[in-house]
Amino acid sequence: MSSDAFDRSALVRAVHDAWDRRLRLVHITIADEDGDGYPSFDVDRWVIEVRVPLSDDEAEAAPVARVTAFTVRAPDEVDEIVEALQTSDAAGSYSIVVTGTDPSGGPFASLFAGAAEVLERDDLLIIDRLEVGAGFEDLPHLVPAIVAAIQNGPAGRTAAFVLADPAQWSVALSDDDLGAINLAQWADTGVLVGVNADPHEAHERAADLIAARTAEDAPAPGARHSDTWVSEILDRAAEEPALAVPFPLPPALPPHIWAGAPAVVLHVDADPDTGALTIHTDDGKFEVVGLPGNAPQLVGAAVGSSIQTQAWLRAVHERWWTYQPALHDRVHEVIDQFLDGTLELAADDSQPHLHMSAVELRRSAWPLPGELTVEPVREHAEPLVLGARLDEDGSKENVGAITVHEDGHVEAFLHDEWQPWLPDHEAVLQHLLSLGVEEFIVGVLHDELDAGVITAILTGDVDGH
């Protein structure tokens, strides 16, 4: 063995002995790919040497890999990203992603814009070529550590979204490594995409943004206010037998098909435009695509599932698009009938039915002349804020607002400037509170019935089958 080979072997052993997933990135080349030729965006090219510290002395580190990455600075449109890719020498297949739509996530442009808004960052990070040195390919979880270091390093710290193409990497990505990387495969391509943040951090930032928006848009609270909790109503309902509501349920799945179902199904995402169905389970998510009437195609992890699970997924895809639309319409029909007092219950257990809580709703009367309407101040916000407006003889007045919290706390207030002389403002407040309670209860009943519909489609195992 030559001295060079001996030294190399000793270095590999030293790196393996010292490996604790700490890395040091050395950005040996930073170049402005477009030379500032385009005023609307810049593209920075990074060549990054990845080193593993051999001791507490940071200067003592061994190079184990080299990465070529790109940072697209503040692109406003998809065309700018495409032009940036053409300007750079990125080797991955990214154009098909940035100009396309993911069945479970929507257009790339919308995902990128949403991530930029939530994270308050403007850039796009592309982790392109990755070359791991000989002898270091089997370092445990090396690739996830490299990806995370680049995401948090100079190339990625201003990025809201990440693209990566493992086809350009010199090492194959194992299932464990893929699970450790906070990126997901885009549709049926091999390109990985994701928000450039820990999922928990992204969720917290999104919640803060929604709360800030709601606070900005919500009217200022008035001095005349009241509140209540829905939990008392739900607790009373829990002590009563559930209501059996007639539903045209699909046939139960044959036992040999049902046997392939995962133990726990968390929720289901469906896209009627593409026919895509994503079933989230405790073992991951399974995707099936194909427009109704066409043969369903398995995607991603579903392809590697057992034969029994694959048969179940194909059967569920067909059942979903055959039965779910009409069943979902029936859910809303039931809730409307429940609210107006015309809901008819199942005659007996032999009639197909689903169960829902026997909630007692009492909407107090509107005590004044005119018609009151309530509308959300902002859609899909938490808490939900409803503005109340009174229409009397063509004159419209903003009365107050209702706030419905996820925990069942309902608040209502009247604007200080609205009829401050009104003697019986408590009756108005009670009416607003009853509308807020009704809004919360409708959500509970919808979730109960919708869960029954999903279970009936996925298995047919519901009490009223």
Sign of CA dihedral 286, 289, 295, 299: negative
pLDDT at 296: 82
pLDDT at 182: 80
Q: What is the rounded distance in angstroms from the CA atom of residue 207 to the CA atom of residue 406?
A: 13
| SS3 at position 24 | strand
For the CA atoms of the chain, what is the radius of gyration? 29
Q: Which residues of the chain have pLDDT under 70?
A: 1-6, 29, 31-41, 58, 102-106, 199-222, 461-465
Residue 305's nearest CA partner among 278, 320, 285 is: 285
Q: What is the rounded distance in angstroms from the CA atom of residue 358 to the CA atom of residue 347?
A: 16
Where do we find the tokens 């739900």?
234
Question: What digits encode the pLDDT tens for the residues 360-403?
Answer: 888 888 888 888 988 888 777 778 888 888 887 777 788 888 99
**Cβ atoms of 462 and 455 closer than 8 Å:** yes
* Count of Cβ atoms closer than 10 Å to residue 21 Cβ: 14
Distances from the Cα of 276 to the Cα of 185, 285, 316, angstroms = 15, 13, 12
Contacts 24+ apart (CB under 8 A), 329-336: 330/247, 330/248, 331/446, 331/449, 331/450, 331/453, 332/446, 334/245, 334/445, 334/449, 335/442, 335/445, 335/446, 335/449
Q: pTM for this structure?
A: 0.53
DSSP 169: B
Sign of CA dihedral 372, 377, 378, 380: negative
pLDDT at 104: 53
Counting Cα atoms < 13 Å in the Cβ hemisphere of 18 gives 22
Q: What are phi and psi of 170, to 5 degrees?
A: -80, -10
Type of residue numbered 46: W
Q: CB burial class (10 A; 0-12, 13-18, 19+) of residue 86?
A: exposed
What does the block give as tokens for 239? 């002590």
Question: What digits encode the pLDDT tens for the residues 112-150?
Answer: 887 888 788 899 999 999 999 999 999 999 999 999 999
**Residues 6 or more apart from 393 whose CB is under 8 A from it?**
370
What does the block give as tokens for 38? 């385009």
| SS3 at position 164 | strand
Torsion of CA 389, 436, 341, 454, to 10 degrees: 120
pLDDT at 329: 95
Start-to-end C-alpha separation, the chain? 75
Counting Cα atoms < 13 Å in the Cβ hemisphere of 48 gives 27
286: part of which helix (H) or strand (E)?
strand 284-289
pLDDT at 203: 54
Q: What is the rounded distance in angstroms from the CA atom of residue 11 to the CA atom of residue 372?
A: 78
Q: What share of the chain is helix, strand, coil (3-state, %, to 5)?
A: 35, 30, 35
Q: What is the rounded distance in angstroms from the CA atom of residue 15 to the CA atom of residue 132?
A: 13
252: part of which helix (H) or strand (E)?
none
What does the block give as tokens for 305? 């599932």
